[in-house]
Structure formats: C-alpha cells, structure tokens
C-alpha cells in the first residue's frame, strides 16, 4: 500500500468514529444504528464480555487483539474518539516540534495495574475517568454537547422568530460542580498534554494504551528506521505526536507508537517505513527501559494500598434501611452489578428523552461515584422507552424487550398523605394518578367531590412519574423507594369502567 | 334643490317605506328560516358520521369557517396530544379531525396554521404515535414543540384570583385565531377533561394548577384568552382516563360538538360521558366567572344527525 493511502485510511477512520460517536450521543445518528459506533470501543466490549459472555463482544475483542498483534496500536489512531479529540487539539499547533522522550513505563504500568485491581474489586470508577471512550463520553456530555446545544438553540430561536420550525431545542446538561472537578482536572491535563506534548496522555495515563502497547512492541508490522539510509535529520521525530522516534539513535519505540503514520509522509530519504519486521528474534532490548528497584517498590506499594482501600470500600455497601440510594436504570438488575459494570460514559444520560438519568455524586457510595442515577426531580422514566437499554455499550444496563422492560420494578411507590395537596388544601389534584402508566396510583373517593390517591405497589414499576409531577412542596407527597435488587412488577388488572352507559341513538342533552 | 324636487324625493321615499312595510309580513310565514339567518346556533351537535364528515356539517351549521378566520390570518390549532397512545386508544384527539380542521383553515385563506400541545409524555413520541404530526403535516400545518420553557411567555390574567400570572405558549399570544380541539375523556380527579381542561396544554407550569386549586385555575385561564372556536371530539371517548391503558375503556359515541362557548360544550360533553355537570367543579366556576352559559336551555342548540 502506498504511504499516502495509509495516512488517508487512518484519518478517515478516525474522523468517522469521532463524528459518529458524537452523533450517537447527540441523537443525530439514525435510530436503528445508534448503538453501533460505541460498540467498537475495546474497554466496553471487554466489560460486556467478561460479565455476560456476550459472543459478538468476544468476536470483536478477538478481532481487535489480532489487529493489534499484526499491526500494533491501530485502535489508538483509528477508533479511539479521545484520540481524535486530542488530534484536533494537536492540530492547533501550526508547526509540530515534538521531541523523543523515554516512555514513562513505571507510571503507565502502575495505572494499568490499579485499573485492573479496581475492576476486580467490583468497581470501574478508575475506568470511568481513564478509559478513553468513557472519558470521551463525559467530554461530550460536559463540553461538546453544551457547545453544540448553544449553537443549535441560538439558531433555533432566530429561525423560530422567522416562523421556521426546523430545529429542536437541545437540553443543556445539568452540571453538578462537585461531579465535574475530577473531569475538569483530567480534561485540563489532556488539553495541556496534547498542545505541549502530543499524545502523552495515551502513553502515560491511558490504561488501554499501555495494555495495547505491550502487544504493539512486537507486532508483525512495525515502524522501523533503515539505519543505512537515515541521515538523522530529525524531521520524523518532530512530527511524531507519540514522541516515540529517537532519530539520533535511529530507534522507534513501538510500544508508544500509535500508528498515526505521520512520520512516513515526511522522510526525505524514505528511510522510515511501516513494514513487516524481518528480524523478529533479534530485537535488541532498548536502553533505559528497565524498571529500577525504587520504581518497582513505589509501584508495588501503591497497588497494594489501593487494593486495600478498594476492598474496605467494597464491604461498605450503600443502601441501609434509613436512606435509599436513587434507583438504578431498568435493566441494570441490581445496584451491585451496576456499580461493577458501568464506566460512566454517560451515553444513557445523553440519550434519555426525559432527562431522568443524571450524573450522581456519591449517592451510590464511593465505589459508585458519578454513575448515572435516576433523578425523579429532573424527570421520570418513560414507560414505553427502552433507549438506555438499547445503547449501553458495557451492558451495565442489559438489553430487554419493551414488554420485559415494562415489568422491571426499580422501586416502589409510597404515598405520604400528610403532604398531599388534596388532604392539606381540600382541592382536587390527581397529578400522580393521571401520569401513572401502570395504574399503581389511582384516585379513590375522599370527601365531597374530592378524590385522593391510593397506591398498589405490586404493579408499580418505580418509573417516578408520580414523584416527578407531585406538586406538593417542600416535601413531595408521593415518592419511589428504591429496590437495591430489581424485582418483577405484577401485571396490572384492568380497572373496571365506572361510567354509566349512554345510548348514542339520541343526544343526551 | 327646489320644492318640486323635494316633494318628489319625499314621495318616493314614502312609497319605498310603504312597499317595504307591505313586503315585511311575507317572510313572517317562514319564521324559522329567518331566525336561522339572523341568529346562528350557539352550539352545534353532530352525530352518526366520521370525524371529518361531522366537522364539515358542523362548521357549515355554524356559518362556515369564514365566520372565524379572515384571509391572511394565522391560526393555532390546539388538539389534545398529551399521551403516548395511538388513535384507537382515544387518549388524544382524532388525527383525521385535526387534519380536516386544518384543511378548512387553509381553504378559508389562513396564512399559516400551527399545531402544538404541551404534552404529558415526551412530545416527539406522542406527536408521532398519536398520528397527529403526520396528519397535520399532510395538511401543510406547522407542528411546533411545546416541551421547553423558552416557548412560553408570562402574561397577566385579568380578573383572576388564583391564576394572576401564567406562562403561555408564544403561539397563543401571536396567532390571530385560536381553535381548541379537545377529546372528551374521563379524568381521575377532575372527573372529565374536555374544552376547558384542554387549555392546560397551552401553559408551562401545570404544577402550579395542581398545587393551588386545579378546578379554579382551569376555570380562570380563559379570562386571559378564550378560544375563538372549540370542537369537541367525542367520536371515541375514554371512560377511564386520561391515559389510555386498555381498549376496553374506549366507547364509540360518534358525536362532535362545536361552539364558541366552552362552558356549554363541557356541560353537553359531561352528559355524553354520563357524568353530572354539577360534579365537575371547574364548569360551575367558569360559569360564575361569566365565561359561558351552563344552562343549555338558554342556548340555541342545533342537533344534526347524519
């Protein structure tokens, strides 16, 4: 293959996945294929496979593994949306002047180990910030979406004034200052790294980059410098955003190389090539790659301490009898399973048409920090909707058919009469019964012409519609109590028609 | 003018007066016809037809759409599209009726016709599932979303005690003609939803209604603006509403009511539903506020059976 074509292939693939992942977050992607772009991401695939033994995930994973063994870290430059995001930032720099830097082997291996330890101990909170896809999801939610929403809503307003109703208003995400502090810190690091040091994030922090790098070192196809023809001009080194080309010693660090192929374009002597390596056995150990004893001890103890903290936290489960955490989305089966599978990519939050899904803080405990929660103050779960179940890339929210989903009970309704408008003010209300999709809340005769809510918890699905619309303030008169482990709601029996039949042969007035 | 001219004119005037006084008794023979021309019905009730056919007849009896719309005016049609339910579920206004109303609007020369509802379920879903979006677009109307606060503007409601200020959809403020197209349904707490209650779909903060006094707020809203025409869809009615949970709750009545008077419509509608108008508090509140006449005997009701 010609070198220009390789570069073209990489760029188009990167742009394609970047745009389509953003599009699927923002509802611009066709409904039928909306879950496809996010299903190309390695860490969600791995989580989905490890927990559910989902065969398509396994096949894709094997495919990615084979690709990595043959071609190296193709994922980082072809599929990774965060890579695409960094490449946009890197392009801000007019003339690239990168310099070779030794890989931060200890740092990146330690982070990889910590992530694996946290995953084993039943929480993915490290992945939620370090998995490039999940972090990109958050970036979309907190940064790209508000930007696009502002442009869209501004244009909508202008068009509307001209009586053109083509655009829909996009909701701005609710931003909790506490939950975005870690996000802003990492985003700041990524932006700083990209502008100053290219893909440093990928080669020092990203656990997936480190993992793929292990196989990339000895991949079948590698970037290599022909020592005979190379004149050490350093042009390739200056365009290498992974900072992995040492033009002086004519060595390429293939564990850090993200296969962006920028170097192939610029070499005046055609000495740097992406080709099948002939001397597989005679790889010389690269200088300075050995981990010193001190580094090893630091790394070892940080992993050990971290494991200890994780295990302690794990035994402190949230959800005691007095305080309920908010319900987890339907299809997540139980709180424990949800915490062990969700990487907080916030795709569900972005797709949720009623905005009931919102980022949490520590409602699910420290191990479940920042996971999406069902927040009935901002919305309620639409009975007929299965959006979050369809899109979840890690299967933290398991796919269910619409009929199955309608039977999932994420919580049960609880009516508190003392707060109810009907009881307090003696005026009619019935907002809760009106909106209840199952009939779990209904109105029964109270006094005079008034009717008051009555509940039937066994048929309740815990959608929170009643809690959301209840007008009582400051305390709501009807709430949902969470099922830590989801249950099955009984099918509602049809309530009897109470009205008198009126014959239609005549007008009744 | 000279004297002769003056007398000439006087005589001819007198003669004209004489002729007209002689001619007057003739139409007396057909008194009914005359009163119809002079006094169009206050309320038209049609039965035994399709929703579209009943509307064609009903609006003709009211004197045609030209009574309500002048050339070049903008019209807002407000059906009930609150719930995710297909047309058979009878939770939302019949889409065929909405379409026919829009067609009449354009035939009369309306410049633009808008359709919206502040829905209870997600609006894009209800617009689609109800069939109203498709029907309205086929008739070239503009379907507008109403589920965001930025569409609403605060207005003062003159004479209101509880609903002094209310955020209303901007199209209600801007449009020349306002047509209310409720579907008649049973309602868990107010007992019935029809003409007056359908107007909750043009305001932003329904929670205020529920918190304050639902019946009074419903009754006070028309103090701000009354629809120029209300068409009650009682073709299929829901006897256990307002949501459509089972097709067994749907009863075919095959009736349509048309009037400017929402109070009279709601009284007539309650009888179709089999409910005592006295049990529906907002009707009597609205009548007390002078928003309409609750005693149907005082009104000229035209009943048409197709």
Rounded to whole angstroms, the maximal C-alpha distance in chain B is 86
Lowest mean pLDDT among A13-17, A168-172, B51-55: A168-172
pLDDT at B36 over 70: no
Average pLDDT for A442-452: 91
Q: How confident is the model at residue B169 (pLDDT cuts 50, 70, 90)?
A: very high
Query: Can you say whether residue A270 is alpha, beta or left, with left for phi > 0 and alpha for psi between -120 and 50 degrees?
Result: left
Does residue A243 sit in the same domain as residue A148? yes
Q: Find all residues with CB under 8 Å of A18, minimum gap 6, and list them.
A: A81, A84, A85
CA distances from B27 to A284, A312, B24, B31, B300 (A): 117, 99, 6, 7, 21
User: Same structural domain for residues A70 and A216?
Assistant: yes
Residues A270 and A370 in one domain: no
The pLDDT mean for chain A works out to: 86
Distance CA(A41)–CA(A55), nearest Å, equals: 15
Question: Residue A102 belongs to what domain range?
Answer: 3-276
Cβ contact, residue pair B189, A383, below 8 Å: no
Q: How far apart are the first and last CA of chain B?
A: 61
Is the same domain home to A394 and A263? no
Top pLDDT among A138 and A300 is at A138
Cα separation, B192 vs B202, whole angstroms: 18
Predicted confidence (pLDDT) per residue in B191-239, tens digit? 999 999 999 999 999 999 999 999 999 999 999 999 999 999 999 999 8
Same domain, A239 and A120: yes
B190–A384 C-beta distance less than 8 A: no
* Of residues B208, B210, B248, nearest to A494 (C-beta): B248
CA dihedral B23, B24, B30, B35 (to 10 degrees): 140
Q: What is the pLDDT of residues B118-148, one digit of tens each?
A: 999 888 889 999 999 999 999 999 999 999 9
A239 shares a domain with A365: no
Work out the number of other CB atoms within 10 angstroms of the CB of residue A305: 11
pLDDT at A1 over 70: no
- How far does A81 lie from chain B, in Å, by closest CA? 30
**Backbone φ/ψ region at A80: left (φ over 0), alpha (ψ -120 to 50), beta:** beta
Q: Which residues of chain B are within 8 Å of residue A153 when distances are taken between CB atoms?
A: 150
The per-residue pLDDT for B68 is: 95
Instruction: Give the chain B residue nearest A495 (alpha carbons).
Output: B240
Q: Give mean pLDDT, residues A260-267.
A: 89
Tokens 């969700």 -> residue: A342
**B248/A497 CB distance under 8 A:** yes
pLDDT at B52: 95
**CA atoms of B98 and A215, how far apart (whole Å):** 64
Q: Report how far residue A225's alpha carbon sits from residue B207's, in angstroms, rounded to the nearest whole number.
A: 71
Would you say B301 and B41 are in contact if contact means Cβ atoms under 8 Å apart? yes
Contacts of B275 by beta carbon, 8 Å cutoff, 6+ apart: A499, B186, B191, B192
Q: Does B298 touch chain A (CB under 8 A)?
A: no
- Nearest-neighbour CA in chain A from B13: distance (Å): 50
Q: Looking at residues B249-253, what average pLDDT do you find?
A: 90
Top-confidence residue, A96 or B68? B68
Among A298, A271, A360, A392, which residue's Cα sits nearest to residue A109?
A: A298
> With bands split at pLDDT 50, 70 and 90, how would you rate the model's confidence at B3?
low
A437 assigned to some structural domain: yes
**Cβ neighbours of B148 in A, within 8 Å:** 169, 171
Residue A124 has pLDDT above 70, yes or no: yes
Q: For residue A507, list chain B residues with Cβ-Cβ distance below 8 A.
A: 45, 47, 255, 268, 303
**With a CB-CB cutoff of 8 Å, which residues 186-225 of chain B face chain A?**
186-191, 206-208, 210-216
Q: Rounded to an integer, what distance in angstroms lies between the CA atom of residue A168 and that of residue A160?
A: 10
Of A298, A313, A284, which is closest to residue A107 (Cα–Cα)?
A: A298
- Site from A379, A431, A500 to mutate, B interface, most B CB atoms within 10 angstroms: A431
Q: Is residue A141 in a domain?
A: yes
A7 pLDDT more than 70: yes
Which of A253, A276, A299 is at the close of a domain? A276
B145:A168 CB<8 A? yes
Q: How far is CA B211 from the centre of its chain?
A: 27
Question: In this structure, what are the phi and psi dihedrals at residue B160, rounded to the nearest 5 degrees?
Answer: -85, 150
- Statement: residue B54 has pLDDT above 90: yes
Q: In this complex, do B122 and A437 lie within 8 Å of one another by their Cβ atoms?
A: no
Closest residue in B to A165 (Cα–Cα): B144
User: What single-letter DSSP state applies at residue B190?
Assistant: T
Pick the last residue of a domain from A257, A276, A295: A276
Domain identity same for A266 and A381? no
pLDDT tens figures, B9-27: 666 666 555 555 544 444 4
Smallest Cα distance from A319 to chain B, Å: 31
pLDDT band for position A369 (cuts 50, 70, 90): confident
Q: Any chain B CB within 8 A of the CB of A95? A: no
Q: What are phi and psi of A304, to 5 degrees?
A: -65, -50
Domain identity same for A384 and A477: yes
Looking at every residue in chain B, the average pLDDT score rounds to 89
Instruction: Say if the Cβ atoms of A509 and B121 lie within 8 Å.
Output: no
Same domain, A368 and A482: yes
Average pLDDT over residues B21-37: 48
Q: Which of residues 98-157 of B touch A (CB under 8 A)?
A: 112, 120-122, 124-125, 142-145, 148, 150
Residue A300 to residue A323: CA distance in whole angstroms: 38
* DSSP bridge partners of B155: B166
Is A309 domain-assigned? Answer: no
Pick from A325, A314, A202: which is nearest to A259 by CA?
Answer: A202
pLDDT score recorded for residue A173: 81
pLDDT confidence band for B31 (50 / 70 / 90): very low
Average pLDDT over residues A487-507: 68
Respond yes or no on whether the N-terminal peptide bond of residue A474 is cis (omega within 30° of 0).
Answer: yes
Q: At A261, phi and psi to the nearest 5?
A: 65, 15
CA distance to partner chain B, nearest, from residue A364 (Å): 28
From A475's Cα to the closest Cα of chain B, the distance in A is 12
pLDDT of residue B1: 56
Predicted confidence band of residue A66 (pLDDT cuts 50, 70, 90): very high
**Contact assignment for B246 to A494 by CB distance below 8 Å:** yes
Radius of gyration of chain B (CA): 22
Q: Is residue A253 part of a domain?
A: yes
State percent of chain A over pLDDT 90.
46
Q: Do residue A118 and residue A17 come from a single domain?
A: yes
Q: Using 50, 70 and 90 to split pLDDT, how confident is the model at A103? A: confident
Contact B119, B129 (CB under 8 A): no
Domain termination residue (choose one: A276, A304, A322): A276
Compute the average pLDDT of residues A207-212.
93
| Chain B closest-CA separation from residue A174 CA (Å) | 15
What does the pLDDT look like over A300-341, one tens digit per residue? 777 777 777 777 776 665 545 556 799 999 999 999 899 888
Q: Do B274 and A168 touch (CB under 8 A)?
A: no
A77 has pLDDT over 50: yes
Residue A298 lies in a domain: no
For A421, the closest chain B residue by CA position comes to B211
CA dist B229 and A320 (Å) reads 57
Assess if residue A327 is contained within a domain: no
For A371-411, write each residue's pLDDT tens digit.
999 999 999 999 989 999 999 998 899 999 999 999 999 99
Task: Provide the domain count of chain A.
Answer: 2
**CB under 8 Å to A391, separation ≥6 — which residues?**
A24, A34, A35, A38, A347, A348, A351
Give me the total of CB pairs closer than 8 Å, taking one residue from chain A and one from chain B: 131
| A350 and A231 together in one domain | no
Residues of A in contact with B111 (CB under 8 A): none
Identify the residue whose tokens are 């989905």: A48
| Cβ contacts of B246 on chain A, cutoff 8 Å | 494
Q: Which of A159, A491, A509 to mutate to test the interface with B (most CBs of B within 10 A)?
A: A509
A434/B248 Cβ within 8 A = no
pLDDT at A258 over 70: yes
A window 249-268, beta carbon within 8 A of B: none
A502 touches chain B (CB under 8 A): yes
| Residue A282 belongs to a domain | no
Instruction: Evaluate if residue A12 carries a pLDDT over 60.
Output: yes
Closest residue in chain B to residue A436, using alpha carbons only: B243
pLDDT in the model for residue A67? 92
Q: Is residue A431 part of a domain?
A: yes
* Rounded-to-10 torsion of CA B235, B239, B245, B251: -40
Compute the nearest-CA separation of B62 from chain A (Å). 18
Gap from B33 CA to chain A (nearest CA, Å): 23
For A:418-447, CB contacts with B below 8 A are 421-422, 425, 427-431, 433-437, 439, 442-443
Average pLDDT over residues A9-37: 85
Chain A residues whose beta carbon lies within 8 Å of the beta carbon of residue B120: 434-435
- CATH no. for residue A451? 3.30.70.20
User: Does residue A269 sit in the same domain as residue A356?
Assistant: no
């Amino acid at each position: 293959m010609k070198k220009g074509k390789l570069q073209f292939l990489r760029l188009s693939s990167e742009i394609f996945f970047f745009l389509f992942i953003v599009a699927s977050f923002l509802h611009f992607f066709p409904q039928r294929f909306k879950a496809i772009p996010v299903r190309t991401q390695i860490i969600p695939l791995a989580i989905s496979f490890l927990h559910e033994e989902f065969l398509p995930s396994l096949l894709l994973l094997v495919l990615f593994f084979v690709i990595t063994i043959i071609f190296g870290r193709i994922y980082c430059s072809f599929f990774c949306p965060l890579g695409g995001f960094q490449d946009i930032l890197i392009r801000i720099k007019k003339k690239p002047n990168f310099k070779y830097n030794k890989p931060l082997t200890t740092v990146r291996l330690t982070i990889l180990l910590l992530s694996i330890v946290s995953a084993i101990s039943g929480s993915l909170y490290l992945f939620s910030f370090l998995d490039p896809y999940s972090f990109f999801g958050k970036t979309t939610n907190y940064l790209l979406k508000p930007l696009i929403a502002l442009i869209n809503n501004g244009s909508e307003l202008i068009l509307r004034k001209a009586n053109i109703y083509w655009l829909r208003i996009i909701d701005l995400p609710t931003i909790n200052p506490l939950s975005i502090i870690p996000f802003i810190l990492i985003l700041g690091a990524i932006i700083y790294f990209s502008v100053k040091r290219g893909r440093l994030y990928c080669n020092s922090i990203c656990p997936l980059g480190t993992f793929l790098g292990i196989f990339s070192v000895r991949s079948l196809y590698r970037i290599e410098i022909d020592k005979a023809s190379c004149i050490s001009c350093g042009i390739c080194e200056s365009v290498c955003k992974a900072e992995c080309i040492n033009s002086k010693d004519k060595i390429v660090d293939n564990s850090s190389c993200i296969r962006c192929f920028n170097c192939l374009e610029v070499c005046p002597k055609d000495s740097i090539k992406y080709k099948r390596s002939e001397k597989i056995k005679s790889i010389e150990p690269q200088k300075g790659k050995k981990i010193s004893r001190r580094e090893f001890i630091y790394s070892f103890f940080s992993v050990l301490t971290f494991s200890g903290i994780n295990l302690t936290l794990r035994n402190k489960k949230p959800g005691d009898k007095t305080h309920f955490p908010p319900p987890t989305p339907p299809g997540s089966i139980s709180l424990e399973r949800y915490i062990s599978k969700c990487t907080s990519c916030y795709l569900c939050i972005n797709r949720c048409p009623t905005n009931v899904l919102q980022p949490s803080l520590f409602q699910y405990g420290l191990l479940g920090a920042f996971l999406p929660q069902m927040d009935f103050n901002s919305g309620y779960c639409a009975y007929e909707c299965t959006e979050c179940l369809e899109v979840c890339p890690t299967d933290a929210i398991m796919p269910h058919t619409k009929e199955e989903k309608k039977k999932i009970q994420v919580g049960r309704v609880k009516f508190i009469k003392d707060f109810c408008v009907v009881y307090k003010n003696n005026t009619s209300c019935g907002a809760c019964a009106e909106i209840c999709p199952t009939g779990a809340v209904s109105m029964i005769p109270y006094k005079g012409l008034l009717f008051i809510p009555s509940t039937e918890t066994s048929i309740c699905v815990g959608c929170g519609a009643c809690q959301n619309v209840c007008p009582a303030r400051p305390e709501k008169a009807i709430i949902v109590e969470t099922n830590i482990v989801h249950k099955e709601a009984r099918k509602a029996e049809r309530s009897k028609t109470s009205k008198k039949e009126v014959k239609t042969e005549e007008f009744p007035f | 003018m000279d004297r002769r001219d003056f007398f000439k004119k006087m005589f001819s005037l007198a003669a004209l007066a004489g002729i007209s006084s002689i001619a007057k008794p003739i139409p007396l023979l057909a008194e009914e016809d005359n009163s119809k021309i002079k006094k169009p019905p206050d309320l038209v009730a049609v039965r035994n037809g399709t929703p579209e056919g009943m509307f064609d007849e009903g609006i003709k009896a009211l004197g045609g759409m030209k009574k309500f719309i002048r050339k070049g005016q903008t019209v807002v049609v407000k059906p009930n599209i609150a719930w995710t339910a297909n047309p058979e579920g009878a939770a939302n206004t019949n889409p065929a009726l909405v379409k026919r109303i829009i067609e009449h609007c354009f035939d009369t020369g309306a410049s633009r016709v808008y359709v919206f509802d502040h829905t209870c379920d997600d609006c894009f879903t209800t617009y689609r599932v109800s069939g109203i979006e498709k029907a309205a677009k086929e008739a070239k109307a503009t379907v507008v979303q109403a589920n965001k606060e930025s569409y609403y503007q605060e207005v003062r409601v003159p004479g209101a005690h509880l609903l002094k200020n209310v955020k209303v959809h901007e199209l209600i403020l801007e449009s020349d003609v306002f047509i209310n197209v409720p579907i008649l349904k049973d309602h868990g707490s107010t007992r019935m939803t029809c003409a007056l209650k359908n107007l909750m779909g043009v305001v932003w903060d329904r929670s205020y209604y529920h918190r304050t006094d639902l019946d009074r707020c419903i009754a006070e809203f028309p103090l701000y603006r009354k629809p120029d025409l209300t068409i009650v869809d009682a073709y299929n009615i829901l006897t256990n509403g307002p949501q459509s949970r089972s097709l067994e709750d749907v009863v075919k009545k095959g009736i349509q009511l048309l009037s400017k008077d929402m109070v009279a419509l709601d009284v007539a509608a309650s009888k179709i539903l089999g409910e005592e108008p006295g049990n529906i508090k907002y009707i009597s509140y609205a009548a007390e506020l002078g928003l309409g006449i609750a005693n149907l005997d005082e009104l000229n009701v035209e009943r048409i059976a197709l």
